[in-house]
Amino acid sequence: MNPDLTSPNAMPTCSRPALPSARRVMPGMMLAMTLALAGLLAACERTPPAAPGAVPVRLESVGSRAPAAAISLPGVVAARTESQLGLRVGGRLASRPVDRGATVRQGDILATLDPIPLQLAVQAAEAQLAQARSALEQARSDVTRNRQLVARGAIARADFERMETAAATAAAQSRAAASQLERARTDLGDATLRAPHDGVVTAAWAEPGQVIAAGAPVVSLAYAGELEIQADLPEHLVASISPGAAAQVALLEQPAQQFPASVREVSPAADTTTRTFRVRLTVPGLDQAARLGMSATVTLPRQATGDTPAWTLPLSALLQQDGQTSVWVLPPESSRLELRPVTVGRLGADDFTVTAGLAAGERVVTAGVHRLDAQLEVKPWDGRLP
């Protein structure tokens, strides 16, 4: 007999609810996990990145490098006296028996012109002189013959005076013709260029067959005798060197041997192409050890000029952008860099000098300057690798 659950006296009974099947639960759980993971990833993307730590930079204090006490320049052995030689007359160059490097003695032939035009000029001058002398003899003969006639009144005094004037004119023309002949003969002699001194031909400026003007250079001759050293000084160092300054010279093939030298001359004007100033040094005893054209190293002392000091920094500290030269400066008690425009004086292979824009003691970044910016937080590098 089944109880009547609708009756008020009926006692309630507890029943376990039916569990859903696994086939209905799995899709719901996977959906919930997917939504939770997506929310977590979205939250991670919204999290701001952590601020990076201060970047270590290598620093150097301005003024920590002492300025160079000496200046080293490349030089070359040259003759103290060297000149360009040319012919005093113009014409076609017939021969030039010497080439660059030839050693010549005084009187040796260096070049000759085609002599035919000059020989013809001599012949014409000789003929003109002969004609002038003949006219002079005739005029003098007329004066001698008519002097007695005018004394006896056989001819008029005016006619005789005209004869005397003609004789004087003929004499002047004869002298002019003689001078012309002497000039033509001199020109013929000047058609040959001879060495005025012993020396070495250092350059040839004209070739056979070329028509040259009077005075145009044909060869350059370095006179035998005292040698010197020539070097080119950059314009920013001209004020540091003066004539009479002591120097040291070493030949490239004998670097261990030092020759004492002195500055003989500093060119007053810069070369229009290189913008450098030629320095000429006297080197006693160089004649026996060197030959023309040898390379040398010149060491010159740097003299105080009273100008604004130039600070020396490594080349790695220089930043060149948009035609402006700058360096990164780290101010005291700061972790932010300052880009400082500077004026560069000398630019060397490993370093450079600053003539304006920096003060002694300021800290300058000397490495990695192209990877820095003013917003970057930095700290002095302690020398340890990470």
Report pLDDT digits (tens) over 258-271.
999 999 999 999 99
Are residue 217 and residue 95 in the same domain, yes or no?
yes
Structure tokens at 316: 């790695």
Reported confidence tier of residue 280, pLDDT bands at 50, 70, 90: very high
Check residue 153 and give left, alpha or beta (phi > 0: left; psi -120 to 50: alpha).
left
SS3 call for 225: coil
**CA distances, 182 to each of 122, 125, 178, 296 (Å):** 8, 8, 6, 50
The whole-angstrom separation of Cα 335 and Cα 374 is 10
Whole-angstrom distance, CA of residue 171 vs CA of residue 140: 9
> Which whole-number Å values give the CA distances from 306 to 239, 240, 250, 303, 309, in the listed order?
10, 10, 30, 9, 8
Exposed/middle/buried for 329, CB within 10 Å: 0-12, 13-18, 19+? Answer: buried
Number of domains in the chain: 4
Nearest CA to 74 out of 193, 266, 250 is that of 250
- Does 146 reside within a domain? yes
Tens of pLDDT, residues 160-192 = 889 999 999 999 999 999 999 999 999 999 999
What is the share, in percent, of the chain residues with pLDDT greater than 70?
Answer: 82
Q: How many CA atoms lie within 13 A of 143 on its CB side?
A: 17
Q: What are phi and psi of 224, to 5 degrees?
A: -70, 140
**At residue 76, what is the residue type?**
V
Query: Do 175 and 196 fall within a single domain?
Result: no
Question: DSSP character for 33?
Answer: H
Q: What is the DSSP letter of 10?
A: P
Together in a domain, 63 and 74: no
> The CATH number of the domain where 204 resides is what?
2.40.50.100
pLDDT value of residue 105: 96
Residue 318, domain CATH:
2.40.420.20
Q: Do residues 95 and 214 share a domain? A: yes
User: What is the mean predicted confidence (pLDDT) over 237-243?
Assistant: 81
Query: In this structure, are 103 and 136 located in the same domain?
Result: no
Question: Domain with 158 in it: what CATH number?
Answer: 1.10.287.470
Residues 214 and 239 in one domain: no
Residue 207: which domain range?
91-113+192-221
CATH number (domain holding residue 251) = 2.40.30.170
Question: Mean pLDDT throughout 34-55?
Answer: 47
Asked if residue 285 and residue 180 are part of one domain, the reply reads: no
Kindly indicate the confidence band of residue 52, based on its pLDDT and cuts at 50, 70 and 90: low
pLDDT digits (tens, 9 = 90+) for 81-99: 999 999 999 999 999 999 9
Both 232 and 291 in one domain: the answer is yes
Phi-psi region of 17 (alpha: psi -120 to 50; beta: other; left: phi over 0): beta
Can you give the pLDDT at residue 67? 59
